[in-house]
């Protein structure tokens, strides 16, 4: 899962930044922008769009992307937000990449990789035609140094530490050979989403937990772009890396610009002040459909939207903390709550069809790992059955129709929600109604910052969500016992304090299984186990709803190429491939797909940290991503 974790996981960012703990949080930010509402700005007719976003006074062709999230760090060792990891994908190469057509692993910095017969030693061939932007050659030593630093320095392991947790030794026998020895087999060796940094630039860093990589420009990298300037909560400026081995993009400038108000971003799109807007609400998408020079991309998303319960916050040492409602320790109560949720209504009324009804933990976009319960296993909407379970659990209705426990106290819950996300508020109203009919009280605790109460375990229920990567290992790992914090004072990588031994056993088996079909079977068994325990319930898989100006963008790659998203990809394909509308380059496609080679400079303007709290894996989401 990308650190693009969109929804409710702002808390993970804070916890990782504070304590420098390892964790491959890929948080998807798409939903932060989904908080955009509809105003009169959308009701006004489109006027001819001035080429403000495409042609600056100096004649540069500019691609401007409206976003609702700020960069948390320019250090790839610290950054966990989707927008940050997206920038890092443009700055640094990973060992492997993902094919935009179907997400399978393809060469990145490594041209080839192969395991030893016992699968405990992996040898990567590092390409000889990659250079750092300062002209120095990229070697295997840069990769070995990057991994070793993460293995030996807690600060350097903050964002991606889980990738190297099973590494025993990493060496570079030659400039083009990288060798990684494992403690035990690991099936994710072609999906190590770790930016490789230049050793000669980073070896002088003293404290990786505090170094944000934002004082010296240009920042040396080997990706398609080079960062030349940065202002916190405002912008990141990049130029093309003309020595990038794939070639450079075609736009002269790329701007990711922060808009606190979604309607303002849509209005800017209409005026031609921005080229692209992501995270559209159904109303905004409907208002833009059919408009001249604007294309709406409505594609299956890579994230899920769910309800998480607090099953009793605890640490690895067994100490309990927080103040979650004790009734949620009872699986019957959790099941009753979820039987009282009408997912179809949520998809139809809240997402207005721009989503798919939730089933298993991994979205249907990832066909190999997608799982759904059998008819007899499914916790489908059934208020009567929910009522019976509550009765069995000892929470019967009193004369006022309220559920009360044996202590006579009414069954009331607090639910964390994101103040900047309209989906939470809309779904919350339905939950109040549905659960109210069951005799359960619900108070929505909508905050700009859900981090503190979530980390402290001071919640009963919460709106949750993650974006999923082509390899699902990360989103599976956050529900293991090992992800719990070491002590209540420490910070873990857990999503919502789930710890189940049977689930952990399946997790260990899938991680060591190299046969794709067998591994997929194990992953589905994990999803089934997670479903049955009832600690969380997936309500929907939201679409990626975004729009761009066709009079500014001639072609741009979606991922996957057939019915895929543009923003928040597992790679740099969209912004690297985008072709200006007036380009005469024959390699460009008139559709929204097509990987192109070109030349470019880029400016990424991002803003307001507060907006991130709407972005938890409704990112994601992504979750990186």
Predicted confidence (pLDDT) at residue 247 exceeds the cutoff of 90 = yes
Q: 3-state DSSP call for residue 246?
A: coil
**What would the two tokens of residue 443 be?**
């108070």
Higher pLDDT, 241 or 415: 415
Q: Average of pLDDT values for 304-326?
A: 95
pLDDT digits (tens, 9 = 90+) for 329-354: 999 999 999 999 999 999 999 999 99
Contacts for 286 with CB less than 8 Å, ≥ 6 apart: none
**What would the two tokens of residue 326 be?**
């004790």
Q: How many CA atoms lie within 13 A of 332 on its CB side?
A: 10
Q: What is the pLDDT of residue 457?
A: 95
Distance CA(348)–CA(460), nearest Å, equals 27
Entry field: residues in the chain: 625
Predicted confidence (pLDDT) at residue 622 exceeds the cutoff of 50 = no
pLDDT digits (tens, 9 = 90+) for 10-38: 334 333 333 333 333 333 333 333 333 33
Q: What is the pLDDT of residue 624?
A: 36
Confidence at 555, pLDDT banded by 50, 70, 90: very high
DSSP bridge pairs for 131: 137
How many CB atoms are closer than 10 A to CB 456?
14
Q: Average of pLDDT values for 274-289?
A: 92
**What would the two tokens of residue 415 be?**
């639910």
Predicted confidence (pLDDT) at residue 108 exceeds the cutoff of 90 = yes
Q: What is the pLDDT of residue 608?
A: 37
Comparing 130-139, 212-221, 607-616, the range with the smallest average pLDDT is 607-616
pLDDT digits (tens, 9 = 90+) for 149-190: 999 998 898 888 878 989 999 999 999 999 999 999 999 999
Comparing 208-222, 393-407, 443-457, 597-611, the range with the smallest average pLDDT is 597-611
Nearest CA-CA partner of 77 in 6, 168, 164, 186: 164
- In this structure, what are the phi and psi dihedrals at residue 26, rounded to the nearest 5 degrees? -115, 100
Q: What is the pLDDT of residue 419?
A: 81
Distance CA(187)–CA(314), nearest Å, equals 29
pLDDT digits (tens, 9 = 90+) for 254-280: 887 888 788 889 999 999 999 999 889
CB–CB of 565/546 below 8 Å?
yes
Predicted confidence (pLDDT) at residue 249 exceeds the cutoff of 90 = no
pLDDT over 70, % of the chain = 84
Q: What is the pLDDT of residue 58?
A: 64
Predicted confidence (pLDDT) at residue 107 exceeds the cutoff of 90 = yes
Mean pLDDT across the chain: 84
Q: What is the pLDDT of residue 22?
A: 32
In order, the DSSP letters of 175-194 are TTEEEEEESS--TTTT----
- Please tell me the pTM assigned to this model: 0.79
Q: Average of pLDDT values for 240-254?
A: 88
pLDDT digits (tens, 9 = 90+) for 516-547: 999 999 999 999 999 999 999 999 999 999 99
Residue 568 falls in which region: left (phi positive, over 0), alpha (psi -120 to 50) or beta:
left
Q: What is the pLDDT of residue 585?
A: 61
Predicted confidence (pLDDT) at residue 127 exceeds the cutoff of 60 = yes
Residue 327 carries which DSSP code?
G
Comparing 171-180, 504-513, 589-598, the range with the smallest average pLDDT is 589-598
Q: What is the pLDDT of residue 137?
A: 97
In order, the DSSP letters of 341-363 are --HHHIIIIISTTSEEE--SSS-
pLDDT digits (tens, 9 = 90+) for 486-496: 889 887 778 99
Nearest CA-CA partner of 596 in 100, 93, 220: 100
Distance CA(78)–CA(85), nearest Å, equals 10
Predicted confidence (pLDDT) at residue 49 exceeds the cutoff of 60 = no
Peptide bond into 422 cis (omega under 30): no
């Amino acid at each position: 899962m990308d650190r693009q974790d969109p929804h409710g996981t702002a808390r993970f960012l804070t916890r990782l930044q504070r304590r420098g703990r390892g964790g491959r949080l890929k948080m998807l930010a798409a939903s932060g922008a989904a908080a955009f509402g509809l105003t009169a700005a959308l009701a006004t007719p489109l006027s001819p769009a001035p080429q403000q976003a495409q042609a600056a006074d100096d004649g540069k062709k500019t691609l401007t992307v409206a976003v609702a999230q700020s960069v948390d760090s320019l250090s790839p060792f610290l950054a966990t937000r989707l927008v940050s990891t997206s920038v890092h994908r443009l700055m640094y190469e990973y060992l492997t990449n993902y094919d935009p057509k179907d997400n399978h692993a393809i060469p990145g910095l490594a041209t080839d990789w192969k395991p030893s017969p016992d699968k405990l030693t992996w040898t990567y061939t590092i390409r000889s035609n990659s250079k750092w932007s300062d002209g120095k050659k990229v070697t295997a030593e840069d990769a070995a140094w990057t991994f070793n630093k993460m293995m030996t320095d807690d600060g350097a392991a903050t964002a991606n530490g889980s990738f190297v947790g099973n590494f025993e030794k990493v060496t570079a026998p030659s400039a083009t050979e990288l060798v990684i020895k494992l403690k035990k087999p690991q099936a994710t060796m072609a999906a190590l989403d770790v930016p490789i940094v230049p050793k000669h630039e980073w070896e002088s860093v003293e404290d990786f937990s505090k170094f944000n990589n934002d004082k010296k420009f240009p920042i040396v990298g080997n990706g398609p772009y080079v960062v030349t300037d940065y202002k916190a909560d405002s912008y990141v400026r990049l130029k093309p890396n003309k020595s990038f081995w794939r070639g450079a993009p075609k736009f002269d400038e790329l701007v990711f610009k922060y808009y606190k108000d979604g309607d303002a971003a849509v209005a800017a799109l209409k005026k031609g002040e921005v080229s692209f807007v992501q995270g559209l609400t159904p109303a905004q998408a409907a208002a833009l459909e059919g408009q001249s020079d604007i294309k709406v991309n409505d594609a299956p998303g890579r994230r899920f939207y769910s309800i998480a319960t607090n099953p009793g916050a605890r640490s690895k040492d067994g100490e309990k903390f927080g103040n979650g409602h004790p009734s949620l320790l009872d699986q019957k109560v959790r099941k009753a709550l979820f039987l009282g949720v009408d997912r179809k209504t949520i998809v139809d009324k809240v997402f207005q069809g721009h989503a798919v009804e939730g089933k298993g933990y991994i979205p249907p976009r990832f066909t190999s790992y997608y799982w759904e319960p059998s008819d007899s296993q499914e916790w489908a909407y059934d208020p009567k059955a929910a009522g019976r379970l509550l009765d069995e659990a000892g929470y019967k209705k009193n004369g006022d129709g309220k559920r009360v426990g044996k202590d006579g106290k009414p069954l009331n819950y607090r639910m964390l929600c994101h103040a900047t996300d309209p989906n939470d508020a809309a779904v919350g109203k339905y939950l109040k109604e549905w659960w109210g009919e069951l005799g359960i009280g619900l108070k929505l605790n909508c905050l700009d910052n859900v981090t503190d109460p979530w980390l402290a375990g001071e919640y009963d229920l919460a709106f949750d969500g993650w974006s999923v990567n082509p390899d699902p290992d990360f989103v599976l790992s956050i529900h293991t016992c090992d992800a719990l914090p070491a002590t209540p004072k420490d910070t873990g990588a857990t999503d919502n304090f789930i710890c189940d031994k049977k689930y952990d056993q399946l997790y260990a088996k899938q991680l060591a299984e190299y046969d794709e079909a067998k591994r997929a079977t194990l992953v589905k068994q994990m999803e089934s186990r997670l479903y049955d325990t009832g600690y969380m319930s997936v309500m929907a898989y939201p679409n990626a709803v975004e729009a761009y100006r066709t009079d500014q963008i001639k072609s741009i790659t979606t991922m996957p190429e057939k019915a895929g998203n543009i923003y928040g990809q597992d790679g740099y394909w969209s912004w690297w491939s985008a072709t200006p509308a007036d380009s005469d380059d024959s390699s460009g496609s008139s559709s929204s797909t097509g990987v192109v080679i070109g030349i470019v400079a880029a400016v990424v303007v991002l803003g307001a940290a507060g907006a991130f709290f709407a972005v938890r894996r409704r990112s994601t989401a992504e979750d990186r991503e």
